[in-house]
Amino acid sequence: MPETVSTAAQQRLAEIREAAEKAIDKPATLGPDVDITRFRTVSEQDKIDSLASLEKQIKETVIHSGFVADESERSGSYFQMDRTPIYERVQNAFDNAIEIMSTQDALAKWPDEMLEKYWWRAVMPDKDKYTALVALHQTEGYFIRVKAGHKVEKPIQACLFVSESNVSQNVHNLIIVEDGAEANVITGCNVHVDVKEGLHAGISEFYVGKNAKLTFTMVHNWGEDFSVRPRTAVVVDDGGVYINNYVLLTPVKSIQSFPVAKLEGKGSTAVFNTIVYGLKKSIIDLGSEAQLIGEGSRSEAVARTVTLDESVVYSRGRLIGRTNDCKAHLDCRGIVQSSASTQWAIPDLVSEGAPGAELSHEAAISPIAAEEIYYLMTRGLPKDEAVSMITRGFVNIDIPGLPDVLRRQIDKALEETAKEAM
């Protein structure tokens, strides 16, 4: 931190640290407990001048989470390997509209603004041991700001990559979309093919300004022995729109995430779309919460989950109405394709002093209907192709900006898992 940090900023930093120290042993409410003391901190890596210089194997891995080395269809890129932001770039055409850097650099550049408005304001450092871990032992994370009035058409991409085993990557991410601005951010989280056990603790705080729009897509591509604990909160101002897309198609040891959208502004909106494939022995506990605070606020959450093998999937959704003029809906549906798998659908509706709030949900878990398969077979499709087609249609959520190779991977995953379930 620079020497010019104000007394108020110094006090705020001390408060954050004190709160985190008290919570470093505090278990999370949901998800399997992880012994955070078992992992060492990730290492420093060398910076690169071009994404083309990444190892071929790394490029082939990260493209499956939406990150592309060819930046022609991207407005900016951030790539972090272990604890080092090895590549940060804003395309020249968007240079006046976007700021991209590590959060530590942003904190050093604008300490008073960051600490007063954004730094640990949406997510509390003492929420649990994972937030405390990041607050006390942060290993960078990305800072993305889209300046007021700028509508950035091409997606901004970020990648958080782990190349080592038995490490903990503790990132703190910030996205700020200022008044009247629009952005589409695609973030991919990946591990090297040789990585075994490890932990990713990711704190993300997003701020959507007046009449601004943020479309945020997270694609997870972890390993079978990796534990993942994201903690995300979004604050949406008047007329702001937040769209969250989440995709998980690969096995993971365990993941627990429950992002919260605080719809504080009048006429603010939040949409959550989730596609999850439970594979092998994955324990997956996902959901979302929308706090409808501002007059005329709206929210929708759509979750599509498929369980195979011995996976366990919890699909949660919570709507909290705090104003009479609000409306929200949960749509949670799951397909079970293995007798050894377990799937939970847990809708949660709350009206807090808002008798006029309109909150609704639809939750269902079932196998693929036999009559649907039979119908397609009578049209000449083999049974495995019929199952694959039904499953693809079930999880079909349009996500803008994804590379073709990732869309093909989604289709391939659906085809393979449908065949395994036969």
Residue 255: is its pLDDT beyond 50? yes
pLDDT at residue 333 in the model: 86
Q: Where are the domains of the chain?
A: 7-368, 369-422
CA distance 89 to 102: 11
CA distance 410 to 248: 10
* pLDDT tens-digit readout, 206-230: 999 999 999 999 999 999 999 999 9
Quickly tell me which residue has 């300046």 as its tokens: 147
Residue 263: is its pLDDT beyond 70? yes
Residue 389: is its pLDDT beyond 80? no
How high is the mean pLDDT of the chain? 91
Q: Which residues pair with 348 in a beta bridge?
A: 318
| Nearest to 353, CA basis, from 329, 319, 318, 324 | 324
- The C-alpha angle 399, 144, 5, rounded to 5 degrees, equals 155
Residue 393: is its pLDDT beyond 70? no
- Output the pTM of the full model: 0.92
**pLDDT category of residue 408 using cuts at 50, 70 and 90:** low
CA distance 142 to 158: 8
* pLDDT tens-digit readout, 127-149: 999 999 999 999 999 999 999 99
* pLDDT tens-digit readout, 29-88: 999 999 999 999 999 999 999 999 999 989 988 987 889 899 988 999 999 999 999 999
Burial category of 105 from C-beta neighbours within 10 Å (exposed 0-12, middle 13-18, buried 19 and up): middle
**pLDDT category of residue 404 using cuts at 50, 70 and 90:** low
Residue 295: is its pLDDT beyond 50? yes
Q: Tell me 19's DSSP state.
A: H
